[in-house]
Structure 1
């Protein structure tokens, strides 16, 4: 057993006072609280804000920013109208297409998607609509595949076993931890293990840095990251309108699996933030918020046209798959 497995772990019942409660959800719609939250091991610690609280605060800030920017543009347009000749169709045409804002030559409002972008966005949104269902054979097989990728030299446990806690599930039944995470969060973890096995193993076993006594549970942290990305990229809208969401649509042109690759990058970023802040279990939501802000900053860089252009992509370590056939 590795040193990472010797660190103390919190279980599902330790987090919210309920023992392995099963919640039926659909996709990402029902997750209204963080999967990592207040612990009864530290009653003096202030309650951690939920993920929705943090994101609601960020949405309000973003709304105020765009409201202010829009008011400035209205004033500019009014001044412009006072100095143009209305009889000029070309000038009026330019007025009607005046950009709300732009980045790298692209407009944030009324952006037109190409056929490839539309198809890939539609496929991704269809994935988001699939809830995790422990009774489905396909979902059971994905869990088994994740175990084999994580522990290629160990025997596969039953779908309800205390051994699952070693991967960072909060109880013996992983299906109770998905809540609103959806099946895509499990697909993200499997993709991570297959595409970047060295990074996956490093984070799974907490192999680098000075770790806290109360470490974040690996698998459940992954579910939180999937949910965070969906919110940040505005993927539940018909068409993303946030700055990060628009930049993500550009990444889809080059990489059909851009969301899954961003998940892997975000996991590395989150762990790096965790170590830099010397965080403990109760500070997970703060670390997650910092990770989101850092990823948004990197997505806003002008020279980013591919996932591999993100500075944090260099954190990922790929090597040959752990098992033949993956």
Structure 2
């Protein structure tokens, strides 16, 4: 089993690098060389198959615990959102537990136009829809995403190891949405439809010199969606952060401003990933800097639509 093999397995796990330090040390310390030699016997006389089974069992137990915790955290967040508490408890990513700019939380709410009110209400309705793998509409959306991502490949069943290639944590992508939301999947589909070249470049990691440990594409997209929800303060009645209030102005110009902003944020994250020469364990840091850069661009005076953001030009490359 080579380091490349291990790298592929780890692509689809917890995106929180901070949790990564609990992975088996033997795997981390030997990534620059094969984990085992070419022979089928280790020093203790155990067969290669036995050792591999042990490693797989340890890995499976580790990621089961990790993702059980994440699912519970997302469920708590979503329960708070739906009940209108306005608080975010147990957010998925550690870095978003505090405001990037605390003073922004105390801005008075904006007076919205009827159009802004209607579009904000519609967006909140989308945010309130959890993903449900038993719904045919949601199943069809997953299939649509696959067809957009891999137009020349056969559509797999909804439970297949092939989904891992897109960056889902396991063979059943629906498990990544528990406590999350259907809007994350809608964001990915929108990206694939509206900016197919940029989408394909990110999916296949075509740009730049990539890390040995890359971030998983699909799970990263889910994290970006929910980073935007908090950054824009969409869990509140009316956004009271500076970024959120600027976003309302964009929403008045573009009904799909959130989806377009998702595409910009995803491309911006990948560019920063390459500039920083980041690897898997640094994903949170890159996402933090992506959020900060996005907040700065939203605050520019001449930005009246998502297409006015300087980073929007990245989607054209």
Is the partner of 2:168 in helix, strand or coil? coil
Is the partner of 2:227 in helix, strand or coil? helix
Q: Is the alpha carbon distance of 1:14 and 1:226 closer, same or farther for their aligned partners in structure 2, counting shifts above 3 Å?
A: farther
Match of 2:90 in 1: 32
8 A contact 1:27–1:180 mirrored in 2: yes
- The number of equivalent residue pairs is 256
Within 2, Cα distance between the matches of 1:195 and 1:15?
Answer: 39
8 A contact 2:162–2:171 mirrored in 1: yes
Aligned pairs for 1:306-317 (under 5 A) are 306-317=305-316
Match of 1:200 in 2: 199
Q: TM-score, normalised by structure 2?
A: 0.75
Stretch moving more, 156-165 or 177-186: 177-186
Match of 2:288 in 1: 289
Aligned pairs for 1:13-52 (under 5 A) are 16-18=62-64, 23=71, 29=78, 32=90, 34=92, 51=93
Q: Is the alpha carbon distance of 1:172 and 1:251 closer, same or farther for their aligned partners in structure 2, counting shifts above 3 Å?
A: same
Q: Hey, which of these two has a bigger chunk of helix by percent? A: 2
Consecutive unaligned residues in structure 1, runs of 5 or more: 35-50, 68-107, 319-326
Aligned pairs for 1:168-179 (under 5 A) are 168-179=167-178
RMSD: 2.6
Deviations 1:72-100 (A, max 9, x none): xxxxxxxxxxxxxxxxxxxxxxxxxxxxx
Q: Is the alpha carbon distance of 1:5 and 1:183 closer, same or farther for their aligned partners in structure 2, counting shifts above 3 Å?
A: farther
Tell me how far 1:16 sits from its aligned partner: 4.8
Tell me how far 1:15 sits from its aligned partner: 9.5
8 A contact 1:5–1:166 mirrored in 2: no
Within 1, Cα distance between the matches of 2:180 and 2:297?
Answer: 25
Is the partner of 2:179 in helix, strand or coil? helix
Tell me how far 1:154 sits from its aligned partner: 0.3
Tell me how far 1:250 sits from its aligned partner: 0.1
Match of 1:180 in 2: 179
Match of 2:98 in 1: 57
Within 2, Cα distance between the matches of 1:66 and 1:29?
Answer: 20
Aligned pairs for 1:266-281 (under 5 A) are 266-281=265-280
8 A contact 2:246–2:298 mirrored in 1: yes
Tell me how far 1:58 sits from its aligned partner: 2.7
Larger Rg: 1
8 A contact 2:132–2:138 mirrored in 1: yes
Is the partner of 1:239 in helix, strand or coil? coil
Is the partner of 2:64 in helix, strand or coil? coil
Stretch moving more, 172-181 or 272-281: 172-181
Q: TM-score, normalised by structure 1?
A: 0.73
Consecutive unaligned residues in structure 2, runs of 5 or more: 14-58, 80-88
